[in-house]
Structure 1
């Protein structure tokens, strides 16, 4: 098969690799489309040369491991999957074939395309972890009591899914976005939108919510945003989740602020840089539940995938990294594979 492999200079190139064999609890999928995430670019810069890049893929099931129940997964089905890229020389999402644990995949409903489905795994899983694991929000189908949540950068990939999940949870939603994206986030469920560049952004958020913001997700979590988002919370504080580890110099101790690690959802230990993350079985169990729920919720339109832009095949991954680095894109970048 062809696979996108990290080089010694931390660029990526297509190389030939053997098609991987699924383990007992895994399935082999023939990749149709793959979604690009910021973690893919960062992992290429930090990962070991020779490993295969890519985390998010959509593909057709072509082989089942010996323990995979054939009443749950069938050959020929199209499923999305999430693996950790840049750690294996035999497996990754930016390749023509990929293996993954069967119960961490989701059957794609016919109402969305494989390319749209490629926008789901990591951004959706991150938003789901923030809301239902790090924040004390009741998990679907239960609903909250209409508390206010601020989602910083609501038009980001994680932000769009966080808005939709917060709406399903019955929260009232304040968010930030550039004016050109206001209609998008309002259509997804945002009640209040403020331009993140507005010098009065914090005061406007507090005024519009009657100074009642209790929960928050910072989808940027760098360059001063955690310190800024804390200022939007109600006087008595609340709970804020960051998508990156940026916990220094926070001005408000009454705003309980925690960071999360997306790879925890896969159920195994992970090391990123100098930080070691223990396996968290509860997070993996949550992801397995939501993989089943996704088929229904995306199928009946309660959740919508992101707008995507297909920029080519796997030979365009390096170009995709450059688009991420420069911010020169407005839609989720996806590659056609097969």
Structure 2
């Protein structure tokens, strides 16, 4: 089988293609044939710089490291003792051991979710990290109907889902993005779009119930002042300053994209009924050159939705 690895960290050319035997499942594990995977922020950061300084030791990648974190695929073999999956099941999930391979082996107890047969499996590969992070972020700010939320970085993969989750919760949604994404974000449900390149959001927004920061530290630092007393601020990029949050009388937390099977079932139901759109920016074939290009395109942006890598049929 084909897989893409890196033996060192650095520029795009550290990605190398290898051909190996298809791995077999052992007790308690599944063999999954990958249908699709996508590009996420950690793919770029880890490839360029290695493990994040804040990563727990048990989560740090070890070289050689396989690119990719999320996937959709088909269970093709199961090891002894597997109880909840059988051959032919559709599955999606998240793993730190890499997903740019034709087959992977995962423990049954990994971050795996059974995908309803009626959903297009290829497209589900665009959920994973982005939808988990967006769901967790919206949950962390405890949105309900009639509230106002500002989502920084609405046009990307995570932002595209966060806008929809917030809108489905009944919130008034403001987002920051480039002006060329305005129509796209309005179609997703954004009520207001602030051009971060030409407009200062702190002058346009005051007293919001919640802020979801999907961008950088500078944006996070300037967001405390616009949240109303008792409101919420969460960030996926930069850890909030608890002392600053306390001085502003707001609740602040860091979002990690963890979603329970019950919540993911709700996500699948939204996709099925059409209240959650899977937005795919571009589809790439599973070749070394195309995977490199997907990462380069992700870095350069703009990213309106996900960049999906699809294996051969």
TM-score band, normalised by shorter chain = 0.7 to 0.9
Give the Å deviation of 1:329: 5.2
Give the Å deviation of 1:36: 0.9
Give the aligned partner of residue 189 of structure 1: 189
Q: Secondary structure at the match of 1:333?
A: strand
Correspondence 1:32 to 2:39: no
Correspondence 1:239 to 2:232: yes
Give the Å deviation of 1:305: 0.5
Give the Å deviation of 1:95: 0.4
Structure 1 unaligned blocks of 5 or more: 86-91, 138-143, 266-285
Q: Secondary structure at the match of 2:234?
A: strand
Give the Å deviation of 1:44: 2.1
Is the 8 Å Cα contact of residues 2 and 14 (structure 1) preserved in structure 2? yes
> CA 1:157–1:99 in structure 2 vs 1: closer, same or farther (change >3 Å)?
same
Give the aligned partner of residue 44 of structure 1: 47
Q: Secondary structure at the match of 1:57?
A: strand
Correspondence 1:310 to 2:313: no
Within 5 Å, which residues of 2 pair with 1:99-248?
A: 99-102=105-108, 104-108=112-116, 110-112=118-120, 114=122, 116-132=123-139, 134-137=140-143, 144-206=144-206, 211=207, 213-222=208-217, 224-234=218-228, 236=229, 238-247=231-240
Give the Å deviation of 1:74: 4.0
Match for residue 55 of structure 1 among 57, 65, 69: 69
Give the Å deviation of 1:2: 1.4
Q: Structure 1, residues 239-286: CA drift from partner, whole Å, max 9, x if none?
A: 111112344698663233322334xx3xxxxxxxxxxxxxxxxxxxx4
Q: Secondary structure at the match of 2:232?
A: strand
Correspondence 1:326 to 2:277: no
Structure 2 unaligned blocks of 5 or more: 51-60
> CA 1:95–1:109 in structure 2 vs 1: closer, same or farther (change >3 Å)?
same
Measured in 2, the distance between the counterparts of 1:179 and 1:65 equals 51
Give the aligned partner of residue 252 of structure 2: 257
Measured in 1, the distance between the counterparts of 2:281 and 2:119 equals 15
Measured in 2, the distance between the counterparts of 1:214 and 1:9 equals 41
Give the aligned partner of residue 56 of structure 2: none
TM-score of the pair, normalised by structure 1: 0.77
Q: Secondary structure at the match of 1:62?
A: strand
Tell me how many residue pairs correspond in the alignment: 293
> CA 1:150–1:330 in structure 2 vs 1: closer, same or farther (change >3 Å)?
closer
Is the 8 Å Cα contact of residues 227 and 250 (structure 1) preserved in structure 2? no
Give the Å deviation of 1:303: 1.1
Give the Å deviation of 1:172: 2.1
Give the Å deviation of 1:328: 5.8
Measured in 2, the distance between the counterparts of 1:260 and 1:101 equals 25
Measured in 2, the distance between the counterparts of 1:197 and 1:251 equals 26
Measured in 1, the distance between the counterparts of 2:99 and 2:244 equals 40
> CA 1:221–1:109 in structure 2 vs 1: closer, same or farther (change >3 Å)?
farther
Measured in 1, the distance between the counterparts of 2:136 and 2:75 equals 26
Q: Secondary structure at the match of 2:237?
A: coil
Measured in 2, the distance between the counterparts of 1:102 and 1:249 equals 37
Q: Secondary structure at the match of 1:105?
A: strand
